[in-house]
């Protein structure tokens, strides 16, 4: 009887470990499931789903910290890691799932279009699409979600860029302008899941999706085209207090390993911007219109005194003065 009890305990332990593993690493299918229309009334509106796109194995240690940070936000219902590197071994992915505050979904290929697929695991109306090198604190995440809820037809983000028309070359270009913007990046983008369905399932955008495949770039620009076309509004940029948002992938980082900060597309500098300008022109060509719309200013989470006062011989924000 003692031997049987020990054997039964071993079997139960093995079964339990398999169950925990399978709940975190969702089995890969050769193709995504077919698109289907979901009743929006069945989706939660009080929280959002975070979808992190992962590719570089150099960033696996970083992903644990990032997933934990998003999971700690009260506005987050679930965190999903899309693993988009087909060459990563199952053993490496199994190690990744250990103590990870996220479900792991391995995509059928490395296509950037999968970032915007309406996966069945997403049960909320709001979806936060983000990179695997961006870590936002819970208060910044919750504030961004609050802004999105005030106008859920818009795309919301911390990082903004712009399209512009270059008169000299008579072409659309990709730019970064101080006074206006028309694109929010997928470094951090909150949007309605209906736009994921539109992007991935509407044949109107089929040729544009193929451009994303060919360029291996610009899925975020195409999504901004989709949102602007459907909402007839520009995006909203969110302002963050100092320290609330960490970008590990920025090439200007000190103290971050090259393997972590040099794997992103944005690290390619001028050539990267040139290619994204080509994407804008191609999307304009195949869609036959330019739906992108400019926005101005950004949303901030408090309104304080902006005037400067002198204190101990230095100019500081007047809010920092003690007027007692």
Where residue 81 falls (left for φ over 0; alpha for ψ -120 to 50; beta otherwise) is beta
Let me know if 218 is exposed, middle or buried by CB neighbors in 10 A (0-12, 13-18, 19+). buried
Is 220 tagged catalytic? yes
| Strand arrangement, sheet containing 188-192 | 25-26, 103-106, 76-83, 44-54, 124-131, 188-192, 156-157, 236-237
Q: Partners of 236 in the beta sheet? A: 156
Q: Radius of gyration of the chain from Cα atoms?
A: 22
Label residues 178-199 b or e (16+ Cβ within 10 Å = b).
Answer: eeebbbbbbbbbbbbbbbbbbb
The token pair that represents 34 in the structure block: 């077919």
Helix (H, G, I), strand (E, B) or coil at 190: strand
Active site residue: 220, 254, 301, 322, which one?
A: 220
Q: What is the DSSP letter of 149?
A: H
Catalytic residues: 220
């Amino acid at each position: 009887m003692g031997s049987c009890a020990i054997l039964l305990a071993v079997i139960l332990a093995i079964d339990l470990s398999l169950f925990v593993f399978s709940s975190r690493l969702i089995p890969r299918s050769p193709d995504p499931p077919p698109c289907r229309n979901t009743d929006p009334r069945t989706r939660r509106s009080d929280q959002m789903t975070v979808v992190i796109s992962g590719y570089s194995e150099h960033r696996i240690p970083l992903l644990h910290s990032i997933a934990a940070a998003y999971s700690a936000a009260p506005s987050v219902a679930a965190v999903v890691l899309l693993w988009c590197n087909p060459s990563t071994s199952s053993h490496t992915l199994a190690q990744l799932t250990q103590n990870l505050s996220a479900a792991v979904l391995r995509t059928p290929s490395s296509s950037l279009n999968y970032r915007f697929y309406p996966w069945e695991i997403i049960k909320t109306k709001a979806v936060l699409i983000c990179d695997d090198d961006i870590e936002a604190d819970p208060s910044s995440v919750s504030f961004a979600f609050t802004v999105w809820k005030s106008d859920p037809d818009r795309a919301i983000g911390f990082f903004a860029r712009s399209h512009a028309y270059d008169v000299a070359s008579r072409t659309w270009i990709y730019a970064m302008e101080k006074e206006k913007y028309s694109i929010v990046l997928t470094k951090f983008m909150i949007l309605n899941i209906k736009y994921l369905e539109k992007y991935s399932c509407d044949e109107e955008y089929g040729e544009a999706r193929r451009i994303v495949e060919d360029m291996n770039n610009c899925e975020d620009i195409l999504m901004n085209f989709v949102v602007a076309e459907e909402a007839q509004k520009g995006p909203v940029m969110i302002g963050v207090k100092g320290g609330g948002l960490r970008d590990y992938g920025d090439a200007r980082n000190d103290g971050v390993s090259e393997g972590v900060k040099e794997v992103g597309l944005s690290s390619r500098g001028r050539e990267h911007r040139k290619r994204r300008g080509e994407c804008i022109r191609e999307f304009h060509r195949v869609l036959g219109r330019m739906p992108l719309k400019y926005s101005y200013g950004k949303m901030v989470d408090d309104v304080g005194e902006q005037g400067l006062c002198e204190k101990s011989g230095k100019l500081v924000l007047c809010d920092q003065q003690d007027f007692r």
